[in-house]
Structure 1
Amino acid sequence: MKNLNRIHLSGLRAVEAVGRLGSLKAAAEEMGVTVGAVSQQVQKVEAQLGQPLFERRARGLHPLASAQPVLTQLSVGMSALSTAVEMTERRRPDALTVSVAPVFAGKWLVWHLKQFARAHPGIRVRVEASVALTNPLLSDVDLCIRVGRGPYPGLKAERLLGQRIFPVCSPALAASFSRPEDVFDLPVILDPGQMFTWDDWLAATGRSGQTLVNGPTFSDGALCLDAAVAGQGVFLAWETLAYYALASGQLVRPFPEMIETGISYWLVRGPHQPYEGPVKAFSEWIKQELPRSLELPEN
């Protein structure tokens, strides 16, 4: 790796960022420097390599065909460096990495992390929002919040809360009918990826004979909720998804029943993960905060 001695890392980073992002401006924003500084770094690297990497055009820099393999390898290398830095941060004794589904992160966790931060100001929480089921045995994740039926063999799993479902709609839409049952004349917002269906709620509430009017379909629960807030129809929601919209008055429940699905929230960690420090602090906090926060208002 002695050949790296003649080229500064910041210059290679600038070249990679321009090639990946497609402009000096975008690269400057990512690196936190000026456009001029990025341009100078790119020119310096080209001079040190003895060959141009970009074609200068009126609209900016355009990678030369001969430079594409170089830029690809630079992206691979910078990605590896970024991962190494992240791994170092995760292993800090005051750091905690939590893996959650994006919808849970966006609709519940981000609204409550400030309470955890106030109670534990010395702990840095890093949230990995992913639909993939991260295995704490094969990653640097400390804790996972999963939604399912459990158990999770080979892992330590604590049941946090049972998931309950109920229809929601906007206040304006609710004002358009006189009886709760009139809601079945309105479009139903559908999420084909849900782990439950309207049939589950209808059967549990003795309304199996009701006919539903299909409305818009979205492949994400958060988008379905936003559609309900926008008045596009009625959505079969769950507590962690809808709690803020209900508490703020953006949505209402036209029916009082909340039905258990048999699905639960689980707090999962590796079998040999020490239950101490940030892991213990976050675990104890979420076991209290999650059920406490979901005290939904009656309509």
Structure 2
Amino acid sequence: MTTHTTKMLIIGSGPAGLTAAIYGARAGMQPIVVQGLQPGGQLTITTDVENYPGFRDVIQGPWLMQEMQAQAEHVGTRMLWDTIVDVDIAGGSPFRAIGDSGDEYIGDVLVIATGAQAQWLGVPGEEALGGKGVSACATCDGFFYRGKKVVVIGGGNTAVEEALYLTNHSDDVTLIHRRDELRAEKILQDRLFAHPKIKVLWNKRVEEFLGAPLQGGLTGVRLADTQTGEISEFATEGAFVAIGHSPATSLFKGKLAMDDSGYLLVEPGTPKTSVPGVFACGDVMDHTYRQAVTAAGTGCMAALDAERFLASREFAAAKVETVEA
């Protein structure tokens, strides 16, 4: 077993974690990033990226994350391949984490950037057609479906918001829901039902995504009526699965404050968690925006606040030494 010690320990290597690392390294905190199960985060499974600032042409998600990692390493970040399986933060700084490898990681501050994963239906065709007509983020991918017929699958706030957003790009949006009423807030439902570009298919469950990944992508969805069992097909060029996200916070249950959905709670307008010296950034604390650019922004905030935390602690220690002397 090896012990790795740093001023700044970062768990997660998506846009939030790597941005925190870049700022932390430039501030002399010599950060360690533990990359986890999905190095680079969700952008590594995203093909075309057209909404990240600074790039006129469409770029590839994996390439963008490679560049972020290279930048972080260039300014002094250590990238380590491991998966954290336990953390000890109850005693305050320094914080301790244990990897699946058996290695121990100790940081004077801890930055949590473990992200959140979209929940998927798990039906045939979903994985194969991911990025080829099937998506879990209308804000990310809706622009690619300008003038096309699209569907949104779900019945909560996220699904209704996605459907409303897609009307900016499509004149033919259909919400598919397995029940006969929505779970979304009434004000959102009112907007949805009043919108001339949106239709609703009630009591329908998606059984399969249809199409060929290498030959045009998604062509439709196979549906089952939840009341009669009748099978039908619905033609569409884009399908957005909007049944929720799962934040990667199981490590911190009982150790950090969370909301009912498992997202880490932070002091409003900051990345500060319920434990001083522990900061959360990116999708693990953001269930509203979930964009690479907002994740990067909160990563920057986490690094800046981490630097201030260490500086104030050092100042307090120096003051005590002066008094004792």
User: Do they superpose with TM above 0.5?
Assistant: no
Larger Rg: 1
Structure 1-normalised TM-score? 0.29
Greater strand fraction, Structure 1 or Structure 2: 2
Query: When you count helix as a share of all residues, which structure comes out higher?
Result: 1
